[in-house]
C-alpha cells in the first residue's frame, strides 16, 4: 500500500527550479527595461542641453485709429447741451421728446 519512493523531494525541487527561473527572467527583463530607460533619459537630457536658436520677434507699430466718431452718452450729452449722442453704439439726434437713432451711423461713446 505504501509507495516506497517519496514524491515530496522531486516536487519540491521542481517548484524551486520554477521559482528560480521565474525570478531570473523577471530581474533580467527589469534590468533590460531599466537600461533602455537610462539610455532614453540620457538622450533626452542631451537634446535639452543643446542650444536652440529662436528667431527674433518683429513688432510692427500700428497706431490706434478709430474711423467711427466719438460722442457722449445720452446723459452726458444732455448735461453738455449737445444735440448728438451715442446710444448703444449708434449715433442719435436730440428730438423734442427724446432721441432719434440713426441706424447706419456707428459711433463710440465716451464718458465725460
Same-domain pairing of 5 and 44? yes
Number of independent structural domains in the chain: 2
Q: Are residues 2 and 33 in the same domain?
A: yes
Say if residue 92 is exposed, middle or buried (CB neighbours under 10 Å; 0-12, 13-18, 19+): buried
Q: Would you say residue 29 has pLDDT above 70?
A: yes
Q: Are residues 46 and 76 in the same domain?
A: no
DSSP string, 60-111: --------S-EEE-HHHHHHHT-SEEEETTEEEEEETTEEEEEEEEE-EEE-
Residue that has been written with the C-alpha cell 527595461 in this structure: 33
CA–CA dist 56, 108 (Å, integer): 37
Between CA 34 and CA 26 the distance in angstroms is 12
User: Is 97 contained in some domain?
Assistant: yes
Q: Is the pLDDT of residue 65 over 70?
A: no
pTM of the complete model: 0.40
80/68 Cα distance (integer angstroms): 21
Q: What is the pLDDT of residues 67-91, one digit of tens each?
A: 888 888 888 888 888 889 999 889 9
- Supply the pLDDT for residue 66: 63
90 located within any domain: yes
Instruction: Check whether residue 4 and residue 46 sit in a common domain.
Output: yes
Domain that holds residue 35: 1-50
Amino acid at each position: 500500500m505504501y509507495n516506497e519512493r517519496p514524491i515530496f523531494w522531486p516536487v519540491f525541487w521542481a517548484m524551486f527550479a520554477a521559482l528560480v527561473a521565474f525570478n531570473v527572467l523577471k530581474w533580467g527583463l527589469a534590468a533590460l527595461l531599466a537600461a533602455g530607460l537610462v539610455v532614453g533619459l540620457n538622450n533626452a537630457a542631451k537634446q535639452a542641453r543643446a542650444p536652440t536658436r529662436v528667431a527674433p520677434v518683429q513688432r510692427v507699430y500700428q497706431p490706434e485709429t478709430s474711423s467711427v466718431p466719438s460722442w457722449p452718452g445720452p446723459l452726458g450729452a444732455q448735461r453738455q447741451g449737445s444735440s448728438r449722442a451715442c446710444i448703444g453704439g449708434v449715433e442719435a439726434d436730440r428730438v423734442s421728446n427724446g432721441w432719434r437713432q440713426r441706424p447706419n451711423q456707428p459711433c463710440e461713446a465716451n464718458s465725460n
